[in-house]
Amino acid sequence: MAEENGSNRVLAQLANLPGDTRELLVALSSAAVGRMNFARRAGLQYGNERDVYKVAGYVMPGSESFDDYWSLYDRDALAGRIVDAPASTTWKTPPEVIEPGYEDAEEGKGSAFMEAFKDLSKRLALWHRLERVDRLSRIGRYGILLIGTAGTDDDLKNEVMRVRGPQDILYLSAFHEKSALIKTWETDPSSPRFGLPVLYEVELSNGSAGFPSAKRMIHHSRIIHVAEDLLDDEVHGRPALKRALNPLFDLQKVGASTGEGFWQVATRTLVGSIDKEAAIDKDGIKALGEALEEITHDLRRHFIARGAELDWLSTDPPDPTAAADFFLSLLSASSGIPKRILLGSERGELASSQDERNFFGMINERQENHAEPNILRAFIDRMIKFTALPAPKEEYKVIWPELYELSEKEKAEANASRANAAKALTPVGGDPMDIVEIDSNRDVWLKPTAVLEEEGFFEEEEPPEPTPPPPPPQQLPPDADGIPATAGDNNAPLVEGED
């Protein structure tokens, strides 16, 4: 009955909307239902006769909830690592926010915008708050960062236009999806915010024990909405654990069965064999069972019986290595985190340099494509719009630090490789030092092509003038025998006047 009344209310609300908006919402709802039905087909095999998800005990496609993800994140070590590692590494070393022209400014001598931002970020513990909302948004489909303001309308449902200055930004609070439900949407197709949230219902206590429950309707202008891995819309991202759900459940089965298996092996089974020729009645069998139970529970260390022999049932402990490694590989593929990074270490070895490069490459891409535009710049631009920060004269820049540092051995190998390349590129008779630069750390770098062109390295030298051929030998008169002589012939007759 309640569902029927709810459906009637929804239909009534739809009927009051303009025709174009009503048709658009119905189409969006139909698309959502279609996607859910399509997802439901995952795991169906043999003409839908076998449901692998149901048999394996997986969460059914389309029925995943925030609680499923939260419980795994809260209790499962690998699930927590999948959620936390990218976010914590992204914000481990905060970026620099710089206004053009002040790149080399000394501490405290940046632009008005830069100094105001430094003060605000320090007072609000900005980097910590951004890292928290980043992690919370990865658990569910989104998270929000609530901006607490002073000097504005006390009714949080109203839009914030501007504040008096940075002092009116009081606090930042991060909330996950379940504590920040979207209640109303922008349904006007002519609005630039069409399809985006207008009002959120936020549980300000966020589940904290002792804090009074307080749900408030809050306008989107007071909120930074954070969602990663968007696909179908601009609001709901893919939870970080969604693709990892199945291998996480399978790995739990391996862990649980392995623990139980080792427990059974460790406790062992005590077997009492009765001689077939021994005369024993029911009371004797009962007494034997009680004695065995007491031995099992370590209540007695001796046993006296007639016609009975005790022995431990031998069993082999299970070896979960292959199964666990298989599911860890699936988790690595589903999360994009190399296996050794996911585990922190493997067989006591640190992650390889290649693993670190791959992981940091993913983090660098995440910084530039998600953390910067969707979190950091969204916050800074909102502060400028509120006049909580002075507007920079030129577009500010965000410079992220280098994540990966070469070891001393890798630096030496890289320098040797660049030196050999310089030697190979230097023409015969040239000096390789002409095409390299050595910095203050004694690292060798090839000069940029533009610099070499400016220095005339690529200019072709004019070929030398050809050497003229030697003159033909001088012809001398023949000797007395009529044999011709040439210059330089010792037998040539002397010319008149020579000695």
Tell me: the pLDDT tens digits for 33-67?
555 454 555 656 556 666 777 877 888 888 899 99
- pLDDT, position 135: 97
pTM exceeding 0.75: no
- pLDDT, position 243: 92
* Distance of alpha carbon 114 from alpha carbon 319, whole angstroms: 58
What are the two backbone dihedrals, phi and then psi, of residue 265, each rounded to the nearest 5 degrees? Answer: -70, -40
- pLDDT, position 489: 53
Q: How confident is the model at residue 446 (pLDDT cuts 50, 70, 90)?
A: confident
In 324-379, DSSP assigns E strands to none
Query: Would you say 238 and 141 are in contact if contact means Cβ atoms under 8 Å apart?
Result: yes
Q: Could you read off the pLDDT of 66-106 as tens digits, one per residue?
A: 999 999 999 999 999 999 999 999 999 999 999 999 988 88
Q: Is the pLDDT of residue 454 over 60?
A: yes
Taking CB atoms within 8 Å and a gap of at least 24, the contacts of 194-202 are 195/233, 195/234, 195/235, 196/220, 196/225, 196/234, 196/235, 197/225, 197/235, 199/157, 200/144, 202/144, 202/146, 202/175
* Distance of alpha carbon 162 from alpha carbon 151, whole angstroms: 9
- pLDDT, position 409: 72
* Distance of alpha carbon 14 from alpha carbon 124, whole angstroms: 42
Q: Cβ–Cβ contacts within 10 Å for residue 359, how many?
A: 22
Comparing 355-364, 450-459, 467-476, the range with the smallest average pLDDT is 450-459
* Distance of alpha carbon 130 from alpha carbon 378, whole angstroms: 11
Q: Select from 123, 177, 175 the least CA-distant residue to 146.
A: 175
Query: Would you say 298 and 342 are in contact if contact means Cβ atoms under 8 Å apart?
Result: no
Q: Could you read off the pLDDT of 261-280 as tens digits, one per residue?
A: 777 776 666 666 666 666 66
Q: Could you read off the pLDDT of 212-263 as tens digits, one per residue?
A: 778 899 999 999 999 999 998 999 999 999 999 999 999 998 888 888 777 7
Q: Is the pLDDT of residue 398 over 80?
A: yes
Cβ neighbours of residue 488 under 8 Å, at least 6 residues apart? 473
Return the structure tokens found at 36.
């859910």
* Residue in the structure block whose two tokens are 């739809």: 14
Cβ neighbours of residue 351 under 8 Å, at least 6 residues apart? 338, 340, 341, 345, 359
* Residue in the structure block whose two tokens are 């070929």: 463
Cβ neighbours of residue 293 under 8 Å, at least 6 residues apart? none
